[in-house]
Amino acid sequence: MELSSDIVGPTGRPGNTLHPIANPGRTSDSPTLLLVDDDADIHVLVSVMLQSLGGTIHYAATAAAGLEMAERLQPDLILLDVDLVESTGVELLKTMRETPTLADIPVVFVTGNDSNEVLTACFDAGAADYVRKPFRSAELRARVRSVLENRRLVVQLQRVASHDSLTGLPNRSQLIDRLQQAMARSTRNPNYHFALLFIDFDRFKVVNDSLGHEVGDMLLREIAVRLRRTLRASDTVIRDCDFSLAARLGGDEFVVLLDEVRNERDAYDVADRLLSVLKEPYRLGAVEIVSTASIGIVTSHPSYTNPEEMIRDADTAMYEAKAAGKGRHMLFQSAMRTVAEDRLVLENDLRHAISRGELYLVYQPIVSLADGSLESAEALVRWNHPTRGLTSPDQFIPLAEETGLIVAIGHWVLEEALRTFAGWLEAGRGPRSISVNLSRRQLSHPNLVNDVDELLRRYEISPDRLHLELTENQIMFDPTTSLHALARLRDLGVQLDMDDFGTGHSSLACLLQFPIHILKIDRSFVASMCSGRDAMALVEAVTRLAQNLQIRVIAEGIETIEQLDILKDLGCTFGQGYLLSRPVDASRVLDYRLPDECGTVLKCREPESPAY
């Protein structure tokens, strides 16, 4: 590790040059470190001890200088003295955590006092680790190396998690982040307007079904290229828009966010241009395809309170454009809101669903990839609607969330799942544990922990046999409340699983500070693992990061033997997916048998006795 010339002394002015910087470029092999310590001698000592790591170590003697250098250098890691001259390391770290550009930088404390109080204060403030003074070089190196490795994986994950692996465009979560920013800006400044264009390729399904997924993927990549190219020509097309973003939501659905539009005309101009660019013929290998696209437009309005509402309305307008003959754009109008009215009827029906006995549970097995044994079963709720028939949770859970009905439904699900599980235990067969999904509203509900505790006691189930699943977005919606509730659940002894990992739009670094036992890698990554390098990189990085943090991993949505094989090799602990089993009735869980082809891959040995 090189000593940096960029040394800020107690006066805040650059200090003497000790060594030239060997390699100012930032790569994962040459990390940039910042040491904040009032004892200048430490700088030389630490540099010598960390020499084998490569990279550069910068030095600041005071908290103020440390803050300024951290902002400017964006180091990979900060070594922070607990006792600074005019402040404390803990105070400095608290300030950093409140500064968005610094919040994710890992901090390792250095201290001569490793009493419980000091260490608790450090970890409460968000420290990644600590090292004792006087330093032992092996310990210092090992701790710094391990924190750097985790940081590298987190950065890699963040990049992959915000982009669509097929087209390289920003994905839904990044779009939502940007939309949130735009909405916040329009609330502050009523003269600022933006627009959202929802684009759907009119013949995509035909192409995909008749010419195969490979051609379908080529088509999607080419659409992405055209969108990017058109939006980049901002001087002629998008005139005054100084910012625009094209994202892929999934399938053939693309969205363009146009910043700083003056009125609807601006959005129409861009939509016209996109329609003409997208209908040019596509040469894909040996075939040529011609198709139009349909675009739904929505412009910013104070009545929108969240990004999903805007995306939903742009989607509705896109359907109207298709219904009116395709190859055109249509502006969203409130008269298109029959969808919304439909939801009101559904909401009313949902209110009575529990009391009328219309809800029931199915269970999807979760299997150990080490030996094929049945680890858990995820309870998934179904609604048998009197006129609509079987209604998928994707249709009614979001509605139940919005209306608050989810608290009652969630309680019913938890009780029903535990009652069923108690029956399995009594039968002496079935999975070792049971997994239940929780919603954001349940997590922030004051009765949650007591309810869980009471139900576990009532059915005489040991808490470590219950997994509660939560998504990143649910946890990050209100991190303070979540942390409190999760800590209480952990203290109760239940297992906490992070569901659909990789699809959220939160800071992964912060997230890892929550007491999570298991990560469930979202099925979209498992699905594109064999075709997209990014998806494979994410799965690999998550598994390694989890191993470093001693968190177990469940891979969701395993549909092929090839995926199963790769995931086992990567060291994923558990798997779930149609290949292993679709969600089934409670009685069929008891008779679960691993499909023969999976047994061969997992080299399954029959358990000699039941799994518990």
* 599, β-bridge pairs: none
Among ligand C2E, Mg ion, none, partner that 612 touches (CB below 5 to 8 angstroms by kind): none
Interacting residue with ligand C2E among 437, 503, 506, 563 (CB under 6 A): 437
Binding residues for Mg ion, rule CB under 5 A, total 5
- Please state, in angstroms and rounded to a whole number, the distance separating the CA atoms of residues 524 and 533: 13
Which range in 128-136, 275-283, 310-318, 432-440 contacts ligand C2E by CB under 6 A?
A: 432-440
- Residue 397's Cβ-side half-sphere holds a number of Cα atoms within 13 Å equal to 14
Shorter beta-carbon distance to ligand C2E: residue 122 or 580: 580
Residue 381 binding ligand C2E, by CB under 6 A: yes
Interacting residue with ligand C2E among 397, 475, 541, 602 (CB under 6 A): 397
Which range in 208-216, 308-316, 322-330, 435-443 contacts ligand C2E by CB under 6 A?
A: 435-443
Interacting residue with ligand C2E among 2, 313, 499, 534 (CB under 6 A): 499
Residue 437 binding Mg ion, by CB under 5 A: yes
- Please state, in angstroms and rounded to a whole number, the distance separating the CA atoms of residues 322 and 293: 9
Provide φ and ψ at 411, rounded to 5°. -65, -40
Cis peptide before 134 (omega within 30 of 0): yes
For the bound state, the minimum distance from the C-beta of residue 547 to ligand C2E, rounded and expressed in Å, comes to 22
Residue 21 binding ligand C2E, by CB under 6 A: no
- Please state, in angstroms and rounded to a whole number, the distance separating the CA atoms of residues 258 and 165: 23
For the bound state, the minimum distance from the C-beta of residue 603 to ligand C2E, rounded and expressed in Å, comes to 22
Among Mg ion, ligand C2E, none, partner that 393 touches (CB below 5 to 8 angstroms by kind): ligand C2E
Exposure string (b/e) for 128-144, b if CB count within 10 Å is 16 or more? bbbbebebeeeebbebb
Judge contact between 383 and 349, C-beta under 8 A.
Answer: no
Residue 416 binding ligand C2E, by CB under 6 A: no
For the bound state, the minimum distance from the C-beta of residue 58 to ligand C2E, rounded and expressed in Å, comes to 43
Interacting residue with Mg ion among 219, 499, 512, 558 (CB under 5 A): 499
Q: What is the 8-class DSSP label of residue 492?
A: H
Binding residues for ligand C2E, rule CB under 6 A, total 23
Cα angle at 503 between 579 and 222, to 5 degrees?
90
Among Mg ion, ligand C2E, none, partner that 216 touches (CB below 5 to 8 angstroms by kind): none
For the bound state, the minimum distance from the C-beta of residue 437 to Mg ion, rounded and expressed in Å, comes to 5
Shorter beta-carbon distance to Mg ion: residue 6 or 556: 556
Residue 365 binding ligand C2E, by CB under 6 A: no
For the bound state, the minimum distance from the C-beta of residue 218 to ligand C2E, rounded and expressed in Å, comes to 23
Residues 461-480: x/- map of binding to Mg ion (CB under 5 A)? --------x-----------
Interacting residue with ligand C2E among 111, 171, 244, 439 (CB under 6 A): 439
- Please state, in angstroms and rounded to a whole number, the distance separating the CA atoms of residues 210 and 30: 50
Shorter beta-carbon distance to ligand C2E: residue 3 or 496: 496
Interacting residue with ligand C2E among 410, 430, 502, 532 (CB under 6 A): 410
For the bound state, the minimum distance from the C-beta of residue 555 to ligand C2E, rounded and expressed in Å, comes to 10
Query: Within a 10 A sphere around the Cβ of 263, how many other Cβ atoms?
Result: 10
- Please state, in angstroms and rounded to a whole number, the distance separating the CA atoms of residues 150 and 545: 6
For the bound state, the minimum distance from the C-beta of residue 348 to Mg ion, rounded and expressed in Å, comes to 27
Q: What is the 8-class DSSP label of residue 14?
A: B
Among Mg ion, ligand C2E, none, partner that 381 touches (CB below 5 to 8 angstroms by kind): ligand C2E
Pairing of strands 329-331, 293-299: parallel
Judge contact between 268 and 261, C-beta under 8 A.
Answer: no
For the bound state, the minimum distance from the C-beta of residue 160 to Mg ion, rounded and expressed in Å, comes to 18
User: Can you tell me which residue has the tokens 């576990």?
Assistant: 456
Shorter beta-carbon distance to ligand C2E: residue 244 or 435: 435
Characterise 489 by phi-psi region: left (phi > 0), alpha (psi -120 to 50), beta (else). alpha
For the bound state, the minimum distance from the C-beta of residue 120 to Mg ion, rounded and expressed in Å, comes to 33
Which range in 44-52, 75-83, 390-398, 444-452 contacts ligand C2E by CB under 6 A?
A: 390-398
The residue whose Cβ lies closest to ligand C2E is 577
The amino acid occupying position 257 is L
Among ligand C2E, Mg ion, none, partner that 58 touches (CB below 5 to 8 angstroms by kind): none
Residue 528 binding ligand C2E, by CB under 6 A: no
Shorter beta-carbon distance to ligand C2E: residue 291 or 420: 420
- Please state, in angstroms and rounded to a whole number, the distance separating the CA atoms of residues 551 and 150: 13
Residues in the chain: 612
Locate 135 and state its tokens: 């330093």
Residue 364 binding ligand C2E, by CB under 6 A: yes
Q: What ranges make up the beta strands (E) of 129-177?
A: 129-132
- Please state, in angstroms and rounded to a whole number, the distance separating the CA atoms of residues 488 and 298: 43
Query: Within a 10 A sphere around the Cβ of 285, how many other Cβ atoms?
Result: 9
Residue 500 binding Mg ion, by CB under 5 A: yes
Among Mg ion, ligand C2E, none, partner that 222 touches (CB below 5 to 8 angstroms by kind): none
- Please state, in angstroms and rounded to a whole number, the distance separating the CA atoms of residues 258 and 236: 14
Residue 467 binding ligand C2E, by CB under 6 A: no
| DSSP annotation string for 15-84 | ----S--S--S-BTTB-EEEEE-S-THHHHHHHHHTGGG-SEEEEESSHHHHHHHHHHH--SEEEEESB-
Q: What is the 3-state composition of the chain as percent helix, strand, coil, each rounded to the nearest 5?
A: 45, 20, 35
Shorter beta-carbon distance to Mg ion: residue 260 or 499: 499
| DSSP annotation string for 407-427 | HHHHHHHHHHHHHHHHHHHHH
Of 151, 152, 148, 137, residue with least CA distance to 51: 137
List binders of ligand C2E among 535-594 (CB under 6 A): 557-559, 576-578, 583
Among ligand C2E, Mg ion, none, partner that 380 touches (CB below 5 to 8 angstroms by kind): ligand C2E
Among Mg ion, ligand C2E, none, partner that 439 touches (CB below 5 to 8 angstroms by kind): ligand C2E
For the bound state, the minimum distance from the C-beta of residue 526 to Mg ion, rounded and expressed in Å, comes to 11
Residue 392 binding ligand C2E, by CB under 6 A: yes
Sign of the Cα torsion 146, 522, 373, 411 reads: positive
Which range in 301-309, 334-342, 387-395, 480-488 contacts ligand C2E by CB under 6 A?
A: 387-395
List binders of Mg ion among 538-597 (CB under 5 A): 556
**Residues that bind ligand C2E in the complex, under the rule CB under 6 A:** 364, 380-381, 392-394, 397, 410, 413, 437-439, 469, 499-500, 523, 557-559, 576-578, 583
**Residues that bind Mg ion in the complex, under the rule CB under 5 A:** 437, 469, 499-500, 556
